[in-house]
Structure 1
């Protein structure tokens, strides 16, 4: 870092230099890798700022109304009580803004110090005030002896997602019979990075590996770029020895030395502490769409395994309609039984008690994700899907989550626009590859033209048949 760079930790200066264009600022100072850590706090701050503006308008209006009543000699107690409520909420929102800005400042502060002298360790050489001795760095597969240190590292690392948990590799092996390889970088037992990897093999697509299949996140995480590269090197050597065609790393941070693409984004929404605040922050159009579902007599149910049959009924029909093979119900049973993440099912039933819309939620730390959500096509006219998503967001606020993850989209696709209307912001996904010599980037996705005929045919199969055939096919689709 250039020693001439100004110290931007003064709050006013940080507001000018950073909050006006956060992502551009991070890129300008070569700190784009920090965006994944900063984004949840940015989203929380932005949401709170919107609420603050709303409360300011309301208190201003009430203040004028109270003044008019007092001038006319009329009682204003009810409005004064309402004003006190808004002012209390305004204080909570301002506290949320202050907390978010403090968290962002804490993340940026170590990167904005003057360049250290030659006898001071550089930031990238430090780990919890200790040097990383790269000559002592080892990468090996997870052992029972390393597991406690690994779990401690994952608990403390802000970059560790649910899918970096060792148990998630075991869950995928249990559900799909794929071989997991969990790499750990450590110095004498002190874990400084991990890489979960799943080997897939099928007649359709050959042999390859993904970190992590079926989900949006995975890839190597480590205290420094060198640690991540050491993990990738170990995985690449194993892939070459096993004659794999490629490895796909699904990362929230770029791996600059490896080919890849940035075709996909995740959509994240910062959450307030109360769902009432979020409701007020939503646009009038979204609120109206949610309200249109209410006269149809839907009931909302939130739970676990007791709702799985109804969830799977809706999910299987929707996947068939999309032309996508469906997972086996046992996959979801295994997730619910594992307790690795906080899993919940949200279900809407119509007035006849029939399931019509459903989602499967996974919570980890301060973030709640919806990997799967489905609504029957015949219910599109009832806006059931809007009520489903509002029910999920309401539940997220009530459970104290700070970020809601709407899942993966392509920019400007219909799913992107749907998520954007709720206030969600894009978070760039970086998918990188190791390729066998002479290999090309894989195209295992529904947009590949050669799969269009298969999708067309699948959409015309009876649902009962897709439940039988789907699990055997989808296990090889990462």
Structure 2
């Protein structure tokens, strides 16, 4: 246990194998208005089981025994990319979840102490409140896309700008296309086949198939998979998380015919209706790199970009470089795009589990 900046505050590392402690942490996350699914113990546990990157949940605890702040961390290790404490690993958000400045400072200091104890590794916070002085502020690189869901399908259609709406109408008029949602082994299998092909085409190593299984298992009713089929053939798929009143499509993509069939447009439109039926009020399209084609596509769907701010710190001043836009990776990305899919699927998980 580490003393905090207040006499009545302590920082401790929760035992994620203890149901009582994980339930207390989950209750705090779910009750906090600024939380994300990546703050939940379920995310940490799923990532550790699938990638062997150790999970740490730092908690600020009041004298009453109540949690008053959390910082989920994953110790990501890679021979290729180095090590880091990441919040949250394999995610687009995370960071310190707290309101009291003293709690925030204590959690930031605890993360720094953990980094020193683990061999002077850097700390990467992908969101949350500002951790304070001494941390590098990273902004201008990523944007988020969130907007309220419309009241019904027709209003949702009209909320999409005209040009993109015309493309979507083509998919809606195609009787061969269907969309279903679920968590069955068949959904996981079809999703992975499509996702693996999609990321190979982008030059990115695919995550282990177990990662998707573990997330679905850990989140239960708060996650599912949407599949678009052309007849019986899966053509687009996305794994979605549900958090509070948010629908959060996270890992998705389309096969070779997705653009011709407009199946991605159809998938996200139907997912909006699916989320509305679950009682959600916001559609969170996730993050994209500033100026990327993905960002432009989301904007054409009627979403306005919102700047994201990340934070990092290193006891030595050395930080990881895992950005796919880094100049040193461009040749490797182009080579990866040319790999036969079975080869990419074999090698990808061995590399990607260290990206985090």
TM-score (norm 1): 0.69
CA displacement 1:343-390 (0-9 Å, x = unmatched): 111111113x11111111111111111111211233312222211221
| Residue among 335, 345, 348 paired with 1:467 | 345
Q: Distance in 2 between matches of 1:325 and 1:410?
A: 18
Cα distance change of structure 1 residues 233 and 252 upon mapping to structure 2, 3 Å threshold: closer
Determine helix, strand or coil for the equivalent of 1:416: helix
Instruction: Give the alignment's Cα RMSD to 1 decimal.
Output: 2.0
Kindly indicate which of the two structures has a greater share of residues assigned to strand: 2
Q: Distance in 2 between matches of 1:387 and 1:476?
A: 33
CA displacement 1:307-366 (0-9 Å, x = unmatched): 111111111111111111111211111112223561111111113x11111111111111
* Counterpart residue number, 1:369: 248
Q: Distance in 2 between matches of 1:133 and 1:152?
A: 24
- Higher RCO (CA-CA < 8 Å; seq separation 6+): 2
Cα distance change of structure 1 residues 363 and 285 upon mapping to structure 2, 3 Å threshold: same
Please tell me whether residue 199 in structure 1 is matched to residue 75 in structure 2: yes
| Residue among 136, 143, 161 paired with 1:259 | 136
* Counterpart residue number, 2:13: 141
Determine helix, strand or coil for the equivalent of 2:280: coil
Q: Distance in 1 between matches of 2:73 and 2:176?
A: 45
CA contact (8 A) 2:83 2:320 kept: no
Determine helix, strand or coil for the equivalent of 2:322: coil
* Counterpart residue number, 2:48: 173
Please tell me whether residue 350 in structure 1 is matched to residue 213 in structure 2: no
What pairs up with 1:215-230 in 2 under 5 angstroms?
Answer: 215-230=91-106
* Counterpart residue number, 1:433: 312
Kindly name which structure, 1 or 2, has the bigger radius of gyration based on alpha carbons.
1
CA displacement 1:186-237 (0-9 Å, x = unmatched): 1121211000000011211222110011111111111222211110101111
CA displacement 1:38-75 (0-9 Å, x = unmatched): xxxxxxxxxxxxxxxxxxxxxxxxxxxxxxxxxxxxxx
Please tell me whether residue 315 in structure 1 is matched to residue 195 in structure 2: yes
Runs of 5+ in structure 1 lacking a partner? 1-131
TM-score (norm 2): 0.91
Q: Distance in 1 between matches of 2:8 and 2:221?
A: 33
* Counterpart residue number, 2:259: 380
Q: Distance in 2 between matches of 1:197 and 1:341?
A: 24
What pairs up with 1:239-278 in 2 under 5 angstroms?
Answer: 239-257=115-133, 258-262=135-139, 263-278=141-156
CA displacement 1:90-131 (0-9 Å, x = unmatched): xxxxxxxxxxxxxxxxxxxxxxxxxxxxxxxxxxxxxxxxxx
Cα distance change of structure 1 residues 148 and 313 upon mapping to structure 2, 3 Å threshold: closer
Determine helix, strand or coil for the equivalent of 2:174: helix
Q: Distance in 2 between matches of 1:379 and 1:191?
A: 46
Q: Distance in 2 between matches of 1:204 and 1:349?
A: 38
* Counterpart residue number, 1:47: none
Q: 1:295: Cα distance to partner?
A: 2.8
Q: Distance in 2 between matches of 1:149 and 1:302?
A: 30
Q: 1:442: Cα distance to partner?
A: 3.1
Please tell me whether residue 337 in structure 1 is matched to residue 217 in structure 2: yes
Q: Distance in 1 between matches of 2:128 and 2:95?
A: 8
Cα distance change of structure 1 residues 228 and 327 upon mapping to structure 2, 3 Å threshold: same
Determine helix, strand or coil for the equivalent of 2:257: helix
Q: Distance in 2 between matches of 1:260 and 1:341?
A: 35
CA displacement 1:224-251 (0-9 Å, x = unmatched): 2221111010111111121133110011
Query: For structure 1, which segment, 182-191 or 298-307, has the greater mean C-alpha deviation from structure 2 after superposition?
Result: 298-307
Q: 1:260: Cα distance to partner?
A: 2.5
What pairs up with 1:34-183 in 2 under 5 angstroms?
Answer: 134-143=6-15, 144=18, 146-183=21-58
Runs of 5+ in structure 2 lacking a partner? none
Q: Distance in 2 between matches of 1:137 and 1:393?
A: 42
